[in-house]
Chains A and B, each alone.
Chain A
Amino acid sequence: MTVNDLISSGIFELVNEGDQPEAEIEKLFCCDLLSIAMSRAPSGCAWVTVMGNMNTLAVASLCDAACIILAEGVRLDDVASVKAVQQGITVFRTDLPIFEAAIAVWDRLHA
């Protein structure tokens, strides 16, 4: 499943479409602590988190995450919104809890 496929599925609200919509979503990763995410997030992952600040974007970009999914109704703050556009990172948001958001992607990955 590509980032584009996840966009068209419409299961999450699209906050920013990044510059690599063709990137393959290979794995799922859930974590809110940045230095754990930094060392553990696999490249090409869809990263589900409740941290909507610009450090999340910096880590996603350094880890080559395929996209970020903000769960629990979290929104990107203003600075982070600008950064997402600048860095070309795809960001979704949803009111679902982290686990349910991740499962929704998992089901599509393994459909």
Chain B
Amino acid sequence: MDDAIQLKYTVSPEDFTRAGEASGDLKKVLKQIGVSPEAIRRVSIAMYEGEINMVIHANGGEITVYVTPSQVKMILQDSGPGIPDVEKAMQAGWSTASANIRSLGFGAGMGLPNMKKYTDDLQIETVLGVGTTVTMIVNF
């Protein structure tokens, strides 16, 4: 990762006016360096879902992205409540989103399944009451 471009984003909690900004910016950067539309699409889906999860489930956090000519690595770190049962959380349709959040269009329980489906690697480290770190890799 010596020649990697490093990008850092702060995701604010419960701030839907800015939610998606990090994903939008990353998409712009990948476009500028000529990454294929198909790979950009996969990165955008994964990054957006991860970013939104930090906003709605974890009081925001920090995202660090490393971009090389052959891959994108996204590390999403929050100090939220943690995920009690990761296996369950990974199931399509499983969601703890509140009625309020659902009324915005979230809560299908498809975010984590999307992140899994569109990345080449997804790792979730989570400790209850401490936080969650999601690491995703998309190879071009």
The CA of A87 and the CA of B27, in the complex, are separated in Å by: 13
Partner of A39, one of B19, B37, B109, B118: B118
Partner of A55, one of B20, B44, B117: B20
Assess whether B23 is interfacial by the CB under 8 Å rule: yes
Give the contact-size bracket for chain A: 20 to 34
Question: Would you call the interface of chain A mostly helix, strand, loop, or mixed?
Answer: helix
Partner of B23, one of A32, A43, A62, A64: A62
Residues on B with C-beta less than 8 A from A37 are: 105
Whether A55 contacts B24 by the Cβ 8 Å rule is: no
**A51 touching B104 in the complex, CB below 8 Å, given contacts A35-B49, A43-B37, A58-B20:** yes
The CA of A63 and the CA of B107, in the complex, are separated in Å by: 19
Assess whether B108 is interfacial by the CB under 8 Å rule: yes
Q: Which of A1-52 contact B (CB under 8 A)?
A: 32-39, 43, 51
Whether B16 contacts A53 by the Cβ 8 Å rule is: yes
